Amino acid sequence: MSKAGFWDNPDAAQSVVSQLSSLKSVVEPVEEIQREVKDLQELFELAAAESDKDELVQLAEDLGALVKKCEQIELAGLLSRPEDMKNCFFSIHAGAGGTESCDWANMLLRMYTRYFEANKYKFQELDITPGEEAGIRSITLRVSGPFAFGKLSCETGVHRLVRISPFDSQKRRHTSFAAVDCVPEFEDDIDAEVNEDDLRIDFYRASGAGGQHVNKTSSAVRITHEPTGIVVQCQNERSQHKNKAQAMKVLKARLYMLEQQKRDDEIAKLYGNKGEIAWGSQIRSYVLQPYQMVKDHRTSFQTGNVNAVLDGELDGFIESYLRHRAKNKQK
């Protein structure tokens, strides 16, 4: 980074800066704990020599806090796959349930953006399809930050909501579904061949609620990979060329993950098998009525503080799944 001309290529430079940030997030906490251990050891020796009971009590509290920091580093050690450190493409899709599910997809979007903000992740909207009456039908985001893919891949699957519907005049309880998907963002040299003859590329005007986000030209891009049926869209940029380049990047990432699935069952779990976005396939349930609870069906981790979860407090679910995944890998 100190070399002359480093910023001449902003995209390449930003990739290096992102890599540096990820590496620092691994190294710096370990170095900090090493310093704290040394300081605590010296303070303990002094307090023990002087029989300072108050200082010993304080040191015991400091040690407890240090143990928690060590547990966080241990957890970071579970994010050891090559893809875990990468940025990612994060998608939410409404499932069975019409307007209810579109509103639920919008609630999930709010939950995850709160999580991104709390963890200082940057996110950029690539494509969005609004619901017909409320909420969103689907959205794709590019999320960047240390271990973005490693953590967010834990959220891949179907999410189920049970609540009294705000759209039902009779105030009946409804069940809604939405699916979350996550794939890592690879560099341009990704080993995924794409035959141009296999692609159907459509250009259209960006959709939205109006205003500055709606283009007057057909700059939005939809690419369909006909052999696999994978469809990717991008409408964030004003330039048709930039939207196509971003959509191709997402497509290559999805194709790469599919190829990896065929060769390695463990890596297949990265992409996740969401199954049908309906009953029986959910990874997590959010129950608001008749009681309040959020439960992950893969790990049995649960909490009654539904509002905190919907405000983005997902660390407990992500940590429990990382440990669950590590245990299954060892078997």
What are the pLDDT digits (tens) for 14-43?
878 877 887 887 888 899 999 999 999 999
Report yes or no on 291 lying in a domain: yes
The verdict on 142 and 290 lying in the same domain is: yes
The verdict on 94 and 239 lying in the same domain is: yes
CB 137 within 8 A of CB 129: yes
- Residue identified by tokens 């995850």 is 112
Q: Which of 145-149, 156-160, 213-217 has the lowest mean pLDDT?
A: 213-217
The verdict on 10 and 129 lying in the same domain is: no
Report yes or no on 305 lying in a domain: yes
Spatial separation of the C-alpha atoms in residues 291 and 162, rounded to whole Å: 10
CB 138 within 8 A of CB 129: yes
Report yes or no on 48 lying in a domain: yes
Amino acid at the residue 311: D
Mean pLDDT for 273-297 is 82
The verdict on 119 and 186 lying in the same domain is: yes
Q: What is the pLDDT of residues 286-331, one digit of tens each?
A: 999 889 999 999 999 999 999 999 999 999 999 999 999 888 776 5
CB 275 within 8 A of CB 281: yes
pLDDT at 191: 59
Spatial separation of the C-alpha atoms in residues 174 and 190, rounded to whole Å: 43
The verdict on 308 and 198 lying in the same domain is: yes
Q: What is the pLDDT of residues 103-123, one digit of tens each?
A: 999 999 999 999 999 999 999
Spatial separation of the C-alpha atoms in residues 286 and 303, rounded to whole Å: 10
Amino acid at the residue 289: Q
Report yes or no on 182 lying in a domain: yes
Question: Please, what is the Cα angle at 153 between 90 and 82, to 5 degrees?
Answer: 110
The verdict on 31 and 111 lying in the same domain is: no
Report yes or no on 179 lying in a domain: yes
Spatial separation of the C-alpha atoms in residues 205 and 127, rounded to whole Å: 12
Mean residue pLDDT of the chain comes to 85
Closest CA to 105 of 54, 179, 194: 179
Under DSSP, the state recorded for 34 is H
Report yes or no on 281 lying in a domain: no
More confident residue, 282 or 280: 282
Domain boundary among the residues 53, 76, 99 is at 76
Tell me the CB-side half-sphere exposure of residue 57, using CA atoms within 13 A. Answer: 3
The verdict on 27 and 175 lying in the same domain is: no
Domain boundary among the residues 20, 51, 76 is at 76
pLDDT at 210: 45
Report yes or no on 83 lying in a domain: no
The verdict on 29 and 68 lying in the same domain is: yes
* pTM listed for this prediction: 0.72
The verdict on 208 and 299 lying in the same domain is: yes
pLDDT at 112: 98
Domain boundary among the residues 76, 108, 124 is at 76
The verdict on 57 and 156 lying in the same domain is: no
pLDDT of residue 209 exceeding 60, the answer is: no
The verdict on 122 and 234 lying in the same domain is: yes
Q: What is the pLDDT of residues 212-249, one digit of tens each?
A: 444 556 788 989 998 888 888 888 777 888 888 888 88
For residue 230, what is the domain's CATH number? 3.30.70.1660
Report yes or no on 279 lying in a domain: no
The verdict on 93 and 227 lying in the same domain is: yes
Domain extent for 33? 6-76
User: What's the total number of domains in the chain?
Assistant: 2
pLDDT at 269: 44
